[in-house]
């Protein structure tokens, strides 16, 4: 998903820097440090969510360090775009304990794009992959102007 979103952003003139492009683990601290060293304008971390009880939640949740500023604006724009294509908008939540949000010196958003243990989210993710990528990119583009 990250590569698909990055491709759309690049096609729209955005310089995209990835913390990784393959399935090799990097700690959240490493990712935050890389973003800071790259002198990037924004940091976006894309994930799938999970819950202890399967099929109990569905939708997109965005996490930010605090509930104001450019990160919050970007999270709201992304959530609105995803909601417009049919994802349940679970809102934006402050998470001061997450390293990638706390240690970045730039506006940072952690996206939870559906639940890996919710059947309807998995079907939606697979069937609407391109729509999801476009919605995330559009929310980012709205924010950066």
Task: Provide the residue-wise pLDDT of the chain in tens; the chain has 145 residues.
Answer: 999 999 999 999 999 999 888 888 889 999 999 999 998 999 999 999 999 999 999 999 999 999 989 999 999 999 999 999 999 999 999 999 999 999 999 999 999 999 999 999 999 999 999 999 999 999 999 999 8
Domain at 2-144: CATH code: 3.40.630.40
Beta bridge mates, 93:
63
What are the residue boundaries of the structural domains of the chain, listed by start? 2-144
Q: Rounded to two decimals, what is the model's pTM?
A: 0.95
Query: What's the alpha-carbon Rg for the chain, to the nearest Å?
Result: 14
């Amino acid at each position: 998903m990250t590569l698909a979103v990055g491709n759309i952003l690049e096609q729209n003139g955005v310089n995209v820097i990835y913390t990784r492009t393959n399935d090799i683990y990097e700690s959240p601290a490493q990712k935050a440090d890389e973003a800071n060293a790259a002198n990037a304008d924004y940091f976006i971390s894309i994930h799938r969510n999970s819950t202890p009880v399967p099929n109990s939640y569905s939708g997109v949740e965005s996490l930010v360090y605090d509930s104001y500023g450019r990160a919050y604006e970007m999270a709201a724009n992304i959530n609105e775009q995803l909601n417009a294509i049919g994802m349940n908008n679970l809102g934006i939540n402050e998470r001061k304990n997450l390293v990638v949000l706390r240690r970045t010196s730039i506006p940072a958003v952690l996206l939870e794009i559906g639940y890996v243990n919710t059947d309807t989210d998995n079907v939606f993710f697979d069937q609407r992959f391109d729509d999801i990528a476009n919605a995330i990119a559009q929310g980012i583009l709205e924010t950066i102007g």
